[in-house]
Amino acid sequence: MRILVTGANGYLGQGIVRSLLELGHTVVAADFGTTHVDERAEKVDCDLFAVEDPFAFFGKPDVLLHLAWRDGFVHNSDAHIEDLPKHYHFIKKMAESGIAQIAVMGSMHEIGFYEGSIDEHTPCNPMSLYGIGKNALRETTALLCKQHGVVFQWLRGYYIVGNSEYGNSIFSKITAAAHAGKKEFPFTTGQNQYDFVDYPVFCDQVAAAVSQKSIDGIINIGSGKPEKLADRVERFIKENGYDIALKYGAFPDRPYDSKAVWGNGDKIQRIMRETSHA
């Protein structure tokens, strides 16, 4: 298939583009700049929201995979609300143009404070501007896809583990600190349990999800099981051979972070089984 990936130059985009290419798709990679994108992709440097007819401009793709999002790790940035109309109008133009399938990257932060396993029926009560923005885009995209007969997929991402120092996750920050020669890393109590998924697995799951149409709606991208933050971070330090120790209790736990939360993995596991048999 011909798949348009927006935000392709970002931390997630780079790996997802590679995974899609490995599955044999033609990838149109769009971003303000595409310097870090795999050379096998068709690169398009542009301001996505300024394109009048994006469906034609990007060569009539079969699938839109919309990853583009500003300030994803700054949970109360005004950008999450200010940019929302731009995302809506871009997706609306694509839906009206006759694209067959629209997939958008979501976040477990749409849910808000919750304990237990999250599935597509779990109610959303977001507690940050990031969660509110993503949740609003999910609802509007679902509506647009229904109106125009487009396959709708909402890829709800969980906690990604990767050793790139350029991301904004706890793992990226520890990597950057270790590379800078720091011996101690300020940390919370680390007792909360989350759904952790390794970066390459995350990218492969997203690529597999958009490579098929039969399983749609909200799809959790994650491991499907909870693990204590302290345990996963200690394991990450060991896996990468970093000479750095966690300073527990330096930061308080955020009030809107759940004590134990993870995604129901039934849908993505079915997709991955079907992909491996294909």
Between CA 88 and CA 38 the distance in angstroms is 28
Torsion sign (Cα): 166, 200, 225, 131: positive
Active-site residue among 11, 88, 114, 130?
130
Please name the amino acid found at residue 168: N
**Alpha-carbon distances, residue 45 vs 3, 42, 83 (angstroms):** 16, 10, 19
Q: How many residues does the chain have?
A: 278
Cβ(218)–Cβ(135) below 8 Å: no
3-state secondary structure of 85: helix
Mark whether 114 is an active-site residue: no
Which residues does 58 contact at the CB level (< 8 Å), separation at least 6?
Answer: 4, 28, 30, 44, 51
**Alpha-carbon distances, residue 219 vs 45, 53, 166, 236 (angstroms):** 29, 29, 26, 26
Q: State the virtual CA torsion across 111, 116, 117, 120 in degrees, nearest 10.
A: -30
**Beta strands per DSSP E along 96-169:** 101-107, 116-118, 151-157, 159-161
Active site residues: 130
